Structure 1
Amino acid sequence: MTSTATRPNAGPHVDHPVPAVDPADAPDVDVVVVGAGLSGLVAARDLQQRGFTVRVLEAADRVGGRVASATVGGAHVDLGGTFVGPEQERILALADEVGVRRYPTHEAGDNLLMWRGDLRRYRGLVPPVGPAAVLDLARIRAAFERLRRTVPVGRPWDAPNAAALDAQTLGSWLHARRAGPASHDLMAVVCKTSWGCEPSEVSLLHVLHYVAQAGGLDALLDTRDGAVEQHFVEGSHEVAARVADQLGAGVVRLGAPVLRVDWSSTGVAVHTDRGTTRARRVVVATPPALRRRIRFVPALPAPHRQMSQRWAPGVLSKAYAVYERPFWRDAGLSGMTISDAGPVFITFDTSPADAARGVVLCFIGGDHARAWDGLDPAERRVRVLSALADHFGPQALEPVGYTDQRWGEEEWLGGGPTAAPGPGAVAELHARLTEPVGPVHWAGTETARRWAGHMDGAVSAGERAAREVAADLASPAPAPTPSKETRR
């Protein structure tokens, strides 16, 4: 698959005129799914397997959503979701079912730390930031782990002092705990990687719950036995493409952004500029912030509208440098680096299993991404390769291929890798992520109970939405609401 073309940031919603259609008219299909990312595709497939007719409407010109792939310098690269871990059972089962293989992320050798201008080699999980700083980091991590264990998985609003936790950011909590500079900066690396934002921008309650539903910081961050243990031979996008193929010809309609959804107790009318589809139910499988791009008639309840405004995505970009071979391994290096300098703050060796090419995956997130994303392509390339040369030497300046992906510039996504709600947006609104509104149901990785923000969360959310819709359609239909004329 080739890289998708970047587009300018989406502007405010424009209400395109669409013909009035009664949602109660005879349906064209049982269910419309809005969004052909992993979550929407899985929801559509599961519903189809249960005997329902479906139609998937996708605004972009490809399926996959936040998974996308490219071939660069003779190597496959994943521009979006990349890694999977042993506890991520739903994405692993789906990949196995559709025949997409996986292989271990390379980790043999020394890691590198660029810290305060000094390059250091190390083994293990704890970077060598100095004895006092290591002790401080252990103290901060222990306090964080104690606190995250108080947050119920799937119900963060039920945590003790949920409102108080939600009123803080991760950054303000670190300040209150008197975290040292090294501890703060290393937690910022976690923040940029996980949510594409700075510690001062994201709700502490959200961070605690996100880590809790992944099983802890180690499960979230580790290579071996953690969430970056493996990646796919054919690429994560191939999973989405094969699921889309299973749906059959004509089910997925690309380049069809949904403009408006008219809904009633009996069904929906889903409008695009290419026509209208009537259905008994609709599953909206987009990031929460993109819900505001659709006009719902009647309007959604206020909390659901606030969700789309306050659960904005972070900004995380990726770059790949491809070399004739993974030359850093000759020096006993793993290819994994951490840096406090930017724009690249963490890297991984994602070379193919046979090492026929050397591939370095670079992450640029938060403030670094906001600055780097606005540069022209040549300057972006220079800055990434210069950062790699600081770690791996001058050979890093001469790749056989290079590409980057700025998710914040994608019109129909607007950022990534997942939502980064600010303070005050979680305790009150989290429950609305999955709460149906009449015939309107929700999917997308943010709505998952486990591994939200990951591919596994996208798959499980699609499965959950399909179960809910199937149960809803199997229940007795509600009595129709009397019209104004009847009430007279």
Structure 2
Amino acid sequence: MTEIDRRTLLRGAVAAAAAGTAVTAAGIAAAAPIRRAPAASADADVIVVGGGMSGLASAKTLRAAGRRVLVLEARERAGGRVHNVRTRGGVTVDGGAEFLGPTQDRIAALATEYGVATLPTYNQGESLFWIQGVAHRVPAAVPLPVLPGTAEAALAMAEIDTTALGFPVGEPWRHPHAAHLDSITWQDWIDAHAHTYEGKLFLALAESAPLSIRPHELSALYMMNYFAAAGNERNPGSFSRLLGVDGGAQERFFDGGAALVPLRMAAEMGDSMVYSAGVRAIVEGPGGRLEVASDRGTFTASKVIVAMSPAISDRIDYRPGLPAERIEVCRGHTMGRIAKFLAVYDQAFWRDAGLTGQVVGDGVPIDVTYESYGQGHHVLMGFISADAMAVLDNRPDAEFVEQCLDSFVRYFGPEARTRAIDYGFKKWDNDPWSWGGPTATTRPGVLTRFGPALRQPVGGIHWAGTETADFWTGYMDGAIRSGERAAREVLAA
């Protein structure tokens, strides 16, 4: 590329931004919100694209090593998919990632460092398994209700745990049975291991509850890696650690909201954070210097870490273009459809009925609930996932709220509506910088063909994001791990 061509591209990218458009990898203009005028250009040793947990972890590691870092964040806030929302009445609730549990060492360490306390998830009494309109009460310590299909689901869970032992976490394409597992969907795997409605439902919920995507849309190899990733270098992942409360990934939550961690990290970085700086193009200039065109101007560095989901990172225009494998691995990732609805109460009336506030099953639109508390309130949180979210995506907010409250009424009785004093929600599908959540997943055939490109640097560009983690991929802990790993790559280079 000539100097004239390079400057033309950068001017075009920023001009498109000023006009409210984004230049994609395909060179097609797409709508994007612009909130601030461009600022003057600046230099850094490393530019981090994305101010979520992975980007902040990268920047923190690099700054500790003495590198000059700029973090370009498209939103007007840090945190990415870790985001506190305010209810109508001003209560702070978790709109995105919320929980933490055993072996999630990195997020636990940062919470301690930044003075963010955690509270135990309420898990006393009985939980509800909602199946075909019937509520089955089960002691919180019992993983499954005694129903047709319980035995086959238990056997399948044991096979999952056995597969997780010695699994090549983060590199599932190296598993001895990778070719087979990546040739089938998780629904295919379920159908081979369960024959009753209840057994199939249990195993489907083990996937759809944390990933918000239906089993027929997901590679079985991805799902096995997801189970195996629910641990650390000393503790293999397991079914119960991924999905459980006591001893599991939902064991605790953050007092004041999980977003306190990234917000405090970002505040510590001061002027190293550049907000409303959606990145439009990354161009390799003379001597390998990288020029990053954003809504706040063009910045240069010798290295760039793109800390974004692979499902959306190819919206950036890369010059020269990315290798075919990287393009394919990005196209092979899909964000789930998801929203969180949270109703606020002055008392946890469900506890008086001996309930934990936890529901899982085939109800709609909310199919999974948890209780949290703090600030003098109690909160029922519900996930709206996959097909149910697709139906509600473009419905009026008032209808969305009423349908969510209807779900709570079915599970906990009319008090769920009459005693609600406030509510809040976050629709991630409509977030222009996320395109859904909670994490990106792959369909069959992607990981075995293109998986290694997920973390393979391209010139001076390195990749972070929770999807690129080894352990706890899809979680805050995985995001931090990925950011620290990308920073180590840059320092080693």
- TM-score, normalised via structure 2 length: 0.88
> Is the CA contact 1:149–1:212 (under 8 Å) kept in the aligned structure 2?
yes
CA distance in 2 between counterparts of 1:457 and 1:160 reads 24
> Is the CA contact 2:100–2:250 (under 8 Å) kept in the aligned structure 1?
yes
Matches for 1:376-395 after TM superposition, within 5 Å:
376-395=396-415
CA distance in 2 between counterparts of 1:105 and 1:74 reads 22
Query: What's the CA shift for 1:381?
Result: 0.9
Q: Which moved more, 1:322-331 or 1:170-179?
A: 170-179
Q: 2:187 aligns with which of 162, 165, 171?
A: 171
Query: What's the CA shift for 1:151?
Result: 3.1
CA distance in 2 between counterparts of 1:178 and 1:127 reads 15
RMSD: 2.0
Query: What's the CA shift for 1:148?
Result: 3.8
Give the 3-state SS of the residue equivalent to 2:75 in structure 1: coil
Query: What amino acid is aligned across from residue 464 of structure 1 in structure 2?
Result: R
Query: What's the CA shift for 1:140?
Result: 2.2
Name the counterpart of 1:326. 348
Matches for 1:461-476 after TM superposition, within 5 Å:
461-472=482-493
Query: What's the CA shift for 1:27?
Result: 8.1
Name the counterpart of 1:368. 388
Query: What's the CA shift for 1:378?
Result: 1.0
Give the 3-state SS of the residue equivalent to 1:246 in structure 2: helix
CA distance in 2 between counterparts of 1:106 and 1:429 reads 42
The yes-or-no answer on 1:459 pairing with 2:475 is no
The yes-or-no answer on 1:433 pairing with 2:448 is no
The yes-or-no answer on 1:68 pairing with 2:83 is yes
The yes-or-no answer on 1:126 pairing with 2:134 is no
Give the 3-state SS of the residue equivalent to 1:87 in structure 2: coil
Structure 2 residue runs of 5 or longer lacking an equivalent are 1-21, 31-40, 231-236
The yes-or-no answer on 1:448 pairing with 2:469 is yes
Q: 1:32 aligns with which of 47, 51, 54?
A: 47
Name the counterpart of 2:8. none
Query: What's the CA shift for 1:266?
Result: 2.6
CA distance in 2 between counterparts of 1:184 and 1:244 reads 43
Name the counterpart of 2:421. 400
- TM-score, normalised via structure 1 length: 0.89
Query: What's the CA shift for 1:454?
Result: 0.3
Query: What's the CA shift for 1:319?
Result: 0.5
Q: 2:201 aligns with which of 174, 185, 188?
A: 185
> Is the CA contact 1:218–1:226 (under 8 Å) kept in the aligned structure 2?
yes
CA distance in 1 between counterparts of 2:359 and 2:61 reads 40
Query: What amino acid is aligned across from residue 330 of structure 1 in structure 2?
Result: D
Name the counterpart of 2:3. none
> Is the CA contact 1:77–1:235 (under 8 Å) kept in the aligned structure 2?
yes
CA distance in 2 between counterparts of 1:155 and 1:361 reads 34
The yes-or-no answer on 1:242 pairing with 2:264 is yes
Matches for 1:94-113 after TM superposition, within 5 Å:
94-113=110-129
Query: What's the CA shift for 1:116?
Result: 1.8
The yes-or-no answer on 1:200 pairing with 2:222 is no
CA distance in 2 between counterparts of 1:306 and 1:345 reads 33
Q: 1:275 aligns with which of 292, 297, 307?
A: 297
Matches for 1:196-235 after TM superposition, within 5 Å:
196-214=212-230, 215-235=237-257
CA distance in 2 between counterparts of 1:128 and 1:258 reads 49
> Is the CA contact 2:308–2:464 (under 8 Å) kept in the aligned structure 1?
yes
> Is the CA contact 1:115–1:129 (under 8 Å) kept in the aligned structure 2?
no
CA distance in 1 between counterparts of 2:361 and 2:396 reads 23
Query: What's the CA shift for 1:178?
Result: 4.2
Name the counterpart of 1:297. 319
Deviations 1:413-459 (A, max 9, x none): 10100011111111122221211111000111111111010000111
CA distance in 1 between counterparts of 2:98 and 2:142 reads 21
Q: 1:422 aligns with which of 429, 437, 443?
A: 443
Name the counterpart of 1:136. 152
> Is the CA contact 2:24–2:316 (under 8 Å) kept in the aligned structure 1?
no
Query: What's the CA shift for 1:15?
Result: 5.3
CA distance in 2 between counterparts of 1:183 and 1:310 reads 29
Query: What's the CA shift for 1:74?
Result: 5.5
> Is the CA contact 1:16–1:259 (under 8 Å) kept in the aligned structure 2?
no
Query: What's the CA shift for 1:12?
Result: 6.2
CA distance in 1 between counterparts of 2:352 and 2:42 reads 63
Q: Which moved more, 1:408-417 or 1:109-118?
A: 109-118
Name the counterpart of 2:70. 55
The yes-or-no answer on 1:154 pairing with 2:170 is yes
Q: Number of residues paired by the alignment?
A: 451
> Is the CA contact 1:192–1:316 (under 8 Å) kept in the aligned structure 2?
no
Identical-pair percentage: 37
Change (3 A) 1:93 1:150: closer
Query: What amino acid is aligned across from residue 126 of structure 1 in structure 2?
Result: P
Query: What amino acid is aligned across from residue 171 of structure 1 in structure 2?
Result: Q
Name the counterpart of 1:343. 365
Query: What amino acid is aligned across from residue 211 of structure 2 in structure 1?
Result: W
Deviations 1:189-235 (A, max 9, x none): 22222211000000000000111011111110111111111111121
CA distance in 2 between counterparts of 1:129 and 1:407 reads 35
> Is the CA contact 2:23–2:280 (under 8 Å) kept in the aligned structure 1?
no
Query: What amino acid is aligned across from residue 139 of structure 1 in structure 2?
Result: L
CA distance in 1 between counterparts of 2:134 and 2:194 reads 25
CA distance in 2 between counterparts of 1:244 and 1:219 reads 30
> Is the CA contact 1:193–1:316 (under 8 Å) kept in the aligned structure 2?
no
Name the counterpart of 1:145. 161
Q: Which moved more, 1:52-61 or 1:174-183?
A: 174-183
CA distance in 1 between counterparts of 2:256 and 2:491 reads 32
> Is the CA contact 1:27–1:280 (under 8 Å) kept in the aligned structure 2?
no
Change (3 A) 1:151 1:11: farther
Query: What's the CA shift for 1:348?
Result: 0.5
Q: Which moved more, 1:252-261 or 1:112-121?
A: 112-121
Give the 3-state SS of the residue equivalent to 1:113 in structure 2: strand
> Is the CA contact 2:282–2:319 (under 8 Å) kept in the aligned structure 1?
yes
CA distance in 2 between counterparts of 1:385 and 1:129 reads 28
> Is the CA contact 2:276–2:296 (under 8 Å) kept in the aligned structure 1?
no
Give the 3-state SS of the residue equivalent to 1:44 in structure 2: helix
Q: 1:306 aligns with which of 317, 328, 333?
A: 328
Query: What's the CA shift for 1:127?
Result: 3.1
